[in-house]
């Protein structure tokens, strides 16, 4: 190994450091040579969980020159840990909301120029529909958690390379969702939705954004008004699941089931009548667990 040229070792390190950052940290301890070489790749794939670790990683990156902040794949989670009695400390969580947002935004600022894929997991509402920082190379974005109640709107297409975006673990979405996506990700090709439960307005908003009918009664309207699609023409695939399988023992199972069935009918109608074959219906599945997000990311 010591006879290998640095170029080959760097290539090996680049292939090896594709997990949560553990491999890069271990390899940097092998020898002084590896420690020096690993500086270029040890942070290229990172999983940061919790406010304390977010702050620590921000401090590390701030101490590095910009050429060494090569984070290409980032998993970022602010999920609160169990207090020991099975309950969350809601007052502390709400008190630290701004602190979490600021630390996460600072981390994105430091990694924006190199970031290629990003997955953000949170039980708290985001402050923006997508992310608040311009990332010119970002191609894949996954956002798990609630949408912002009053999202901050940016009219600049600051995610020009974004190709796929996935929204999951939300219960409702803002009316400005598709307008924000269109202005901020003008070259998007795939958008996916996996809500925590069936949404009343998502199918209708999507139909309007694609300028296709969501049901037979919509045909005259769409046929005569000449609606212009909101989403960019680059969109090739829209994947939607009408929530997970409804638990029949749940207190509001009947209401959830009714909303889900209505959403299902609209999505299947859109899938059948979309001439561009963009809409893809996904049958309800198991309830997603936020605690498993890191495992699926790895």
Residue pLDDT, tens place only, 256-277: 999 999 999 999 999 999 999 9
Residues 127, 82 contacting (CB under 8 angstroms): no
**Is the residue at 129 inside a domain?**
no
Backbone angles phi, psi at 202, to 5 degrees: -60, -45
- Is residue 296 one of the residues assigned to a domain? no
Domain ends where: 70, 99, 124? Answer: 124
CA separation for the pair 93, 100 (Å, rounded)? 9
DSSP 145: S
Q: Which two tokens stand for residue 213?
A: 């009918």
DSSP 8-state code for residue 201: S
**Residues near 102 by Cβ (< 8 Å), separated by ≥ 6?**
none
What local confidence, expressed as pLDDT, does residue 201 receive? 92
Whether residue 167 is found in the same domain as residue 106: no
Q: What is the mean pLDDT of residues 106-112?
A: 95
Domain membership of residue 157 (yes or no) is yes
How much is the average pLDDT of 27-44? 64
Q: How far apart are CA 63 and CA 52, in angstroms?
A: 17
What is residue 298's predicted lDDT score, i.e. its pLDDT?
60
Residue 85 makes CB contacts below 8 A (sequence gap 6+) with: none
Task: Pick the range with the lowest mean pLDDT from 17-31, 36-50, 173-187.
Answer: 17-31
Number of domains into which the chain is organized: 3
Domain span including residue 3: 1-42
- Most confident of the ranges 37-46, 124-133, 270-279: 270-279
Whether residues 147 and 282 share a domain: the answer is: yes
Give pTM, 2 decimals. Answer: 0.83
- 79 in Cβ contact with 53 (< 8 Å): no
Nearest to 198 by CA among 245, 130, 149, 251: 245
190 in any annotated domain: yes
- Considering the domain architecture, whether residues 17 and 56 belong to the same structural domain is answered as no
Residues 146, 107 share a domain: no
Contact call for residues 80 and 99 (beta carbons, < 8 A): no
CA dist 166 to 8, 15, 136, 248, Å? Answer: 35, 26, 18, 28
Burial class (CB in 10 A: 0-12, 13-18, 19+), 248: exposed
The pLDDT of residue 14: 62
Same domain, 211 and 117: no
Residues 25 and 92 in one domain: no
- State the pLDDT at residue 30: 60
Q: Average pLDDT for residues 34-52, to the nearest whole number?
A: 76
Range in 5-9, 88-92, 101-105 with the lowest mean pLDDT: 88-92
Most confident residue range from 38-42, 88-92, 161-165, 223-227: 161-165
Q: Are residues 167 and 232 in the same domain?
A: yes
CB 183 within 8 A of CB 157: yes
Residues 172 and 269 in one domain: yes
**Contact between residue 192 and residue 166 where contact means Cβ atoms under 8 Å apart:** yes
């Amino acid at each position: 190994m010591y006879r290998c040229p640095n170029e080959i070792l760097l290539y090996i390190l680049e292939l090896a450091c594709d997990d949560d950052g553990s491999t890069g940290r271990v390899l940097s301890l092998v020898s002084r040579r590896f420690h020096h070489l690993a500086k270029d790749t040890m942070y290229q794939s990172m999983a940061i969980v919790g406010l304390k670790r977010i702050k620590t990683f921000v401090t590390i990156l701030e101490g590095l020159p910009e050429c060494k902040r090569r984070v290409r794949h980032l998993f970022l989670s602010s999920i609160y840990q169990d207090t020991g009695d099975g309950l969350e400390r809601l007052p502390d969580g709400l008190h630290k909301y701004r602190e979490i947002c600021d630390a996460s935004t600072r981390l994105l600022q430091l990694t924006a120029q190199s970031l290629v894929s990003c997955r953000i997991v949170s039980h708290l509402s985001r402050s923006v529909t997508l992310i608040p920082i311009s990332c010119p190379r970002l191609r894949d974005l996954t956002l798990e958690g609630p949408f912002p109640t009053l999202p901050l709107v940016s009219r600049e297409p600051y995610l020009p390379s974004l190709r796929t975006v996935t929204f999951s673990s939300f219960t409702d979405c803002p009316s400005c969702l598709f307008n924000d996506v269109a202005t901020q990700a003008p070259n998007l090709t795939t958008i996916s939705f996996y809500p925590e439960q069936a949404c009343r307005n998502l199918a209708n908003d999507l139909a309007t954004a694609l300028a296709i009918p969501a049901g037979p009664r919509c045909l005259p309207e769409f046929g005569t008004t000449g609606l212009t699609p909101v989403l960019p023409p680059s969109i090739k695939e829209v994947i939607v699941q009408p929530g997970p399988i409804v638990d029949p023992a749940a207190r509001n199972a009947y209401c959830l089931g009714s909303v889900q069935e209505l959403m299902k009918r609209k999505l299947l109608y859109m899938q059948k009548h979309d001439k561009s074959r963009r809409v893809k219906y996904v049958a309800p599945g198991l309830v997603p667990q936020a605690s498993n997000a890191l495992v699926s990311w790895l």
